[in-house]
Amino acid sequence: MVSTYPLALQPYLDGVKTIECNGRSMATTLFLENGYYLKIGPKGYLEKEAQFAKWFNANGLSAEVILFISEDKDYLLTRKAEGEVLTNCLDQPKELCRTLAIGLHRLQSLSVKDFPCLDKMDAYLQTAEVNYHKGCFDKSLLVPWIDFANADEAWQVFQANKHRLKRDVIVHGDYCLPNVLMKNGEFSGLIDLGQAGVGDRHIDLYWAIWSLWYNLGTDQYTDCFLDYYGRHLVDEELLRTIAAIETFV
């Protein structure tokens, strides 16, 4: 019922059909057929995402934030972004590769100086360290051509290379096909920005590669994506290091 929502949201919901379109997060996402998305999460869960979304919108990479309300729950209302998610374009794999690469370059060209979250890498690495010592080890998000026999092997790769990871670009944090938009064959923006921060380019590179493999069911487009992105910017050992870290995150 519309009356169960905060008063400021009710005009956007009254008489409007909604479609639930949830991803992997703890939030519920509703598409409002009058051209908005409403995300609802536990209190405090969407605060950073709202802040980040405003920053990305100001830099031309995401939709306008209309309202952020934190009461019993968090409510984030945004306009519908232009374009369609890349998971709707799987019949154009080379265009996916090109768009992913162009989007990453756009994202990584932004200045990190005024981004609202500068400590992503510290939290990211600390979480991996804590979870390793807790005995956590999950291989489910590894691409098939990167493997670790056990947690100790992944830990050794992590420890050997963590000092080489930089804090020099904006990272999306979940740079996968469902979070990248394309319009008329061109990159048009990003969604689901709650994991963004300043970090190492290989985080988003790894997830772009993983997402191509996962959604297309083949690794034959990895080279295509890396060619579009620029192989001179890719350190394969750091990609393997990010894979190792993700087994603990």
- Residue 170 phi, psi (nearest 5): -75, 130
Residue 27: the pLDDT is 85
Is 22's pLDDT higher than 70? Answer: no
Share the mean pLDDT of the chain: 95
Q: Which residues contact 122 (CB under 8 A, 6 or more apart)?
A: none
Q: Which DSSP letter does residue 8 get?
A: G
Mean pLDDT to the nearest integer, 170-178: 96
Question: In percent, how much of the chain has pLDDT > 90?
Answer: 91
pLDDT of 73: 95
Q: How far apart are CA 213 and CA 100, in angstroms?
A: 13
Q: What is the reported pTM?
A: 0.93
User: In this structure, what token pair is assigned to residue 175?
Assistant: 């740079």
- The tens digit of pLDDT for each residue in 224-242 reads 999 999 999 999 999 999 9
- Mean pLDDT is lowest, of 8-22, 71-85, 135-149, 171-185, for 8-22
Please, is 19 exposed, middle or buried when counting C-beta atoms within 10 Å of its C-beta (0-12, 13-18, 19+)?
Answer: exposed
Whether residue 204 is predicted with pLDDT greater than 90 in this model: the reply is: yes
Interhelix angle 201-216/236-246, rounded to 10 degrees, is: 80
The dotted CATH code for 84-246 is: 3.90.1200.10
pLDDT score of 69 more than 70 = yes
Nearest CA to 32 out of 74, 63, 78, 71 is that of 78
Q: What is the pLDDT of residue 23?
A: 62
Q: What is the 3-state secondary structure (H, E, C) of 48-93?
A: HHHHHHHHHHHCCCCCCEEEEEECCEEEEEEECCCCEEHHHCCCCH
Say if residue 78's pLDDT is above 70.
yes
Same fold, 2-79 and 84-246: no
Mean local confidence (pLDDT), 44-54: 95
Query: Which residues does the annotation mark as catalytic?
Result: 174
pLDDT of residue 1: 74
CATH class of 2-79: alpha beta
- For residue 21, the model assigns a pLDDT of 82
In this prediction, residue 80 has a pLDDT band, given cuts at 50, 70 and 90, of: very high
- Residue 192: Cβ-neighbour burial (10 angstroms; 0-12, 13-18, 19+): buried
The full set of domain ranges for the chain reads 2-79, 84-246
> Concatenated DSSP letters for 189-249?
EE---TT-EEE-HHHHHHHHHHHHHHHHS-STTHHHHHHHH-GGG--HHHHHHHHHHHTT-
Q: Per-residue pLDDT tens for 85-99?
A: 999 999 999 999 999
pLDDT at residue number 227: 97
pLDDT band at 145; cut points 50, 70, 90: very high
